[in-house]
Structure 1
Amino acid sequence: MNDLIKGAYDLHVHSGPDMLPRKVDDPELADRFIKAGLKGYLIKSHYNCTAERARVITMFRPECQVFGSITLNNAVGGINPMAVEMAGRGGAKNVWFPTVDAENEQIHFASHPYKAMPYWAIVQQQMKEDGIDVKTINILKDGKLIKEAYEVCEIIAKYNMILSTSHISKEETFALVKAAHEAKVKRIVITHVTFPATFYTIEEQKELLKYGAMMEHCYTTVSTGKVDKEVMMEQMRAIGPENIILGTDLGQKANVYPDEGLSNFADMLHAEGFSDKDIMTMIVKNSNALVE
């Protein structure tokens, strides 16, 4: 395992048990992280708040600090301030705005079908066949941020949680980040900036930096060919390590384990000429700053 990742957190992990099939459950993953010298990870679920689950794992694996989060998809009522309030009281560290239910993701998926249908899309198809109304979520109405989004920002600030933009559109992101900045949210992450449905140009990222946001790059985006490696490396060099957080977005059964992905990411960056200091800034220093 790469020494450059020691002491890091992976703040974008899809571990199990989850409603979707996952490569690894939390007890095994915590053991893997401890063995690799990693501090811990943050659990992301598209459907359920993971705060309580994270507390249980940390209780039984105290050498691994595990954090929970909530994702504002339909399963929790969408942009639901009460759900975020409860998540904050329960110790959740991150609030993800809509992912699979985001209108932007649904539009992109319809026009750019995946080689293999993702599990979340299969779930949505099954629900539609069962007569369940699967609504899409847009946090703008008539071009303005909805009231509930402002309220969520205030709750995030109150509990000093991380705000992650997830799969919403660029228009939604710029409105949200501006509102979060005004609400004094201290931790803002622009989620996987090279992901096809959420691809941000270098110029757009520089504009978002003005609001104190950090740019997230994920290993799975490049390892699965969703973005060319050269494009990701160009963005990283232009934005600078101090403004970037690296995670894996791993947990899918067909991919490597998250700890392996983080190590592979460090190796890739080293081969691309990034210094040890720069790699450790993006993987170790910045992940620690976001959660500690």
Structure 2
Amino acid sequence: MTAGMTRRDFIKTMGAAGGAALMGGAARAAAEAAENVAADGILKGVCDIHIHCAPDTKPRCTSELGLSRRAKAAGCRALMFKSNDWSCHDRAYLIREAVPGFEVFGSICMNRVHGGRVNVYAAEQAVKTDGGLCRCIWMPTLAAEYPLRGAGGDFRGIPVLDGSGAVLPEVVRVMEICAEANIIFATGHCSPDESLTLAAKAKEVGVHKFVVTHVNSLMWKMTRGQIERAVELGAYVEYCYLPRLWGPGTGNPEFERQSAEEFLSYARTVPERSFISTDLGQRGNPDPLDGMRMCIEELTAAGVPQRDIDLMVRVNPARLIGLE
């Protein structure tokens, strides 16, 4: 302790120095971990375009900013975030400022927070937001009619079809908005039959990036024939890795884990018009980067051709979010 320095000043100074040293050590450790993650190149060029991160209305295992930093260090090319309640494209604008040189995008879901019907105004404003980073408009997910049918309660789902099975005018207008902006129109939690009806209308409207969502998951599973029909109508189909990771002891203990054989049977179906996303970010489940790594390793070990893997985790998702 130098002359003129009080004991309190001394302790404060040493505490600050110690804290800086600790922070420096933590930063070095994080940098070393990032180098190790990137070393094998498994995630190089990967685009994961269906991820749930904080901030959100449900517990998440990581933040959008934190994951973006780690994804860049791991060699990923791009991420697109999804929240069932809030838009993510405005946050993507800020994340890009914090993580320069990395492609981050957002999306918006037509759920209850935007009203009781598919909200055309919300869609219009999303594509007008600075940066043009809203690259997907999802039809209702947690508020979709399909999963809520027969569930009871006083909340009615948000429809996409009318009583005669025709696509509602507001849904058609959102399709037109997506076509005009050349962004993804995704089916959300619509049923397989509803999704095929939407696909036919999207083809008529001129949507270039129509996606049928998580066709290997739960009640949204499509048959091979349905997948092929969707592709005939111009759709891309999404396979999610999440079902391979949920089950007892995870963040989704209520669901039965999908077998490797079943997941691989989906992944081998029309890879030229499909892509794989993790759909991860839930607290209690693997980190999205770890999940994507596990997915690629599983595909490789099963003998899926590298060309098909590249199509599903690199080429097709990049094309869909406008990184041709």
2 CA distance for matches of 1:48 and 1:13? 13
- Which segments of structure 1 move beyond 3 Å, counting only runs of 4 or more? none
1 CA distance for matches of 2:308 and 2:42? 10
Which amino acid is 1:84 matched to?
A
1 CA distance for matches of 2:178 and 2:94? 23
- Is the Cα–Cα contact under 8 Å of residues 70 and 96 in structure 1 kept in the other structure? yes
2 CA distance for matches of 1:256 and 1:214? 26
User: Unpaired segments of 5 or more residues in structure 1?
Assistant: 112-127
Match of 1:83 among 110, 122, 137: 122
2:303 equivalent to 1:265: no
Flag the structure with larger Rg. 2
Structure 1 residue 28: Cα displacement: 1.0
2:169 equivalent to 1:139: no
- Is the Cα–Cα contact under 8 Å of residues 138 and 172 in structure 1 kept in the other structure? no
For 1:251, what is the secondary structure of its paired residue? Answer: coil
**1:33-73 Cα distance to aligned partner (Å, 9 max, x none):** 01110012111000111111111101110132110101011
The answer for the alignment partner of 2:24 in structure 1 is: none
The root-mean-square deviation of aligned C-alpha atoms, in Å, is 1.7
Which amino acid is 2:120 matched to?
P
Report matched runs for 1:182-201 at 5 Å.
Answer: 182-201=204-223
Higher relative contact order (CA 8 A, sep 6+): 1
- Is the Cα–Cα contact under 8 Å of residues 104 and 197 in structure 1 kept in the other structure? no
**1:236-269 Cα distance to aligned partner (Å, 9 max, x none):** 22x2321210110011010111111111100011
Structure 1 residue 137: Cα displacement: 1.7
1 CA distance for matches of 2:162 and 2:306? 45
- Is the Cα–Cα contact under 8 Å of residues 52 and 83 in structure 2 kept in the other structure? yes
User: Unpaired segments of 5 or more residues in structure 2?
Assistant: 1-36, 247-255
The answer for the alignment partner of 2:27 in structure 1 is: none
Report matched runs for 1:245-264 at 5 Å.
Answer: 245-264=275-294
- Is the Cα–Cα contact under 8 Å of residues 148 and 156 in structure 2 kept in the other structure? no
2:194 equivalent to 1:172: yes
2:73 equivalent to 1:35: yes
Match of 2:234 among 212, 225, 229: 212
2 CA distance for matches of 1:106 and 1:272? 37
Structure 1 residue 232: Cα displacement: 2.1
Match of 2:273 among 243, 249, 252: 243
- Is the Cα–Cα contact under 8 Å of residues 167 and 198 in structure 1 kept in the other structure? yes
The answer for the alignment partner of 1:14 in structure 2 is: 52
Structure 1 residue 173: Cα displacement: 1.0
Report matched runs for 1:23-172 at 5 Å.
Answer: 23-77=61-115, 78-90=117-129, 91=132, 92-107=134-149, 110=151, 134-142=155-163, 143-172=165-194
Structure 1 residue 29: Cα displacement: 0.5
Which amino acid is 1:195 matched to?
S
TM-score (norm 1): 0.88
For 2:170, what is the secondary structure of its paired residue? Answer: helix
For 2:143, what is the secondary structure of its paired residue? Answer: coil
Alpha carbons of 1:213 and 1:189: their partners in 2 closer, same or farther (altered >3 Å)? same
1 CA distance for matches of 2:259 and 2:144? 24
Which amino acid is 1:94 matched to?
C
2 CA distance for matches of 1:76 and 1:27? 25
Structure 1 residue 107: Cα displacement: 3.4
2 CA distance for matches of 1:290 and 1:13? 15
Structure 1 residue 156: Cα displacement: 0.8
Structure 1 residue 226: Cα displacement: 4.2
For 2:239, what is the secondary structure of its paired residue? Answer: strand
TM-score (norm 2): 0.79
The answer for the alignment partner of 1:279 in structure 2 is: 309
The answer for the alignment partner of 1:3 in structure 2 is: 41
For 1:150, what is the secondary structure of its paired residue? Answer: helix
